[in-house]
């Protein structure tokens, strides 16, 4: 089977300080801080929710699928074509082992990131895993016009979604610390639910309340005079 011409991450590892260190310094986090790791079916909202969640938490955001494409220099669909699903899963599992290291980020994984048992264990042990659960109808509504997903290039893509949900739901639950339903609710609600479910040490620090201003009798008299000047 053909191979990708461009070396991928395990052959040419990136400078981890450029991927994580700078972001941690910008956000003010002190390593090691567990990552918030989003898992779930394609179309469950991992990338969209992940970006909003990262902003709310003041953390860097990493989309594993986008990072994999950047490192390999080709779309995921091309990796499937050249190396098959098995080849793609090997690359994905190696990337999960790297990205699971505590770095204080929000990580959106690919839909099949939990298939490999070792990846599932690593994600659960090293990060705080949130399963974004969505029903078949909602997933089909979001994906029905998507022509870029290799696993949906079938005669009956809706049936394929139903089959994948049946296969993977238990795997997502096995990896997860928290399950959030992403049906037709706004993204902001999903983000708020995730933050509420995070361990206390992973939540954003509350904003300090300003000290109340106590007006003196003199201040009150002056304010009255300004508000209602005497003729």
Tokens of 184: 């037709």
Taking every pair of Cα atoms in the chain, the longest distance, rounded to a whole number of angstroms, is 94
Q: How far apart are CA 115 and CA 204, in angstroms?
A: 31
Q: Note the pLDDT of residue 212.
A: 62
Identify the structural domains of the chain with CATH numbers, from first to last. 16-227 (3.40.50.300)
Contacts of 110 (CB under 8 A, 6+ apart): 42, 64, 65, 68, 76, 92
Say how many C-beta atoms besides its own lie within 10 A of residue 12's C-beta: 9
Task: Give which of 15, 87, 86, 97 is closest to 64, Cα–Cα.
Answer: 97
Task: Tell me the backbone φ, ψ of residue 6, rounded to 5 degrees.
Answer: -90, 130
pTM confidence score: 0.77
Low-confidence ranges of the chain (pLDDT < 50): 1-2, 5-29, 31, 216-231
Q: Note the pLDDT of residue 52.
A: 97
Say how many C-beta atoms besides its own lie within 10 A of residue 115's C-beta: 16
Q: How far apart are CA 63 and CA 154, in angstroms?
A: 26
Q: Note the pLDDT of residue 151.
A: 83
Contacts of 25 (CB under 8 A, 6+ apart): none
How far is the CA of 51 from the CAs of 27, 36, 66, 170, 178, in angstroms?
14, 12, 13, 26, 18
Residue 118 three-state SS: helix
Tokens of 67: 């990072």
């Amino acid at each position: 089977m053909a191979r990708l011409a461009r070396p991928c991450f395990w052959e040419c590892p990136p400078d981890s300080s450029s991927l994580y260190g700078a972001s941690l310094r910008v956000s003010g986090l002190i390593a090691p801080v567990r990552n918030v790791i989003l898992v779930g079916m394609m179309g469950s909202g991992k990338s969209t929710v992940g970006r909003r969640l990262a902003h709310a938490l003041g953390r860097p955001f990493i989309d594993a699928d986008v990072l994999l494409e950047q490192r390999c220099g080709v779309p995921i669909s091309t990796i499937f074509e050249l190396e098959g699903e098995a080849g793609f899963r090997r690359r994905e599992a190696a990337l999960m082992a790297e990205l699971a290291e505590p770095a204080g980020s929000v990580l959106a994984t690919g839909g099949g990131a939990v298939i490999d048992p070792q990846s599932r264990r690593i994600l659960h042990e090293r990060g705080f895993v949130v399963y974004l659960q969505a029903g078949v109808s909602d997933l089909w509504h979001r994906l029905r016009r998507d022509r870029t997903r290799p696993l949906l290039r079938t005669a009956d893509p809706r049936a394929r979604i139903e089959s994948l949900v049946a296969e993977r739901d238990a795997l997502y639950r096995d990896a997860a610390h928290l399950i959030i339903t992403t049906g037709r609710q706004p993204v902001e609600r999903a983000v708020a639910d995730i933050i509420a479910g995070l361990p206390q040490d992973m939540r954003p620090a509350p904003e300090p309340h300003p000290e109340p201003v106590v007006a003196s009798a003199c201040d009150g008299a002056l304010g009255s005079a300004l508000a209602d000047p005497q003729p």
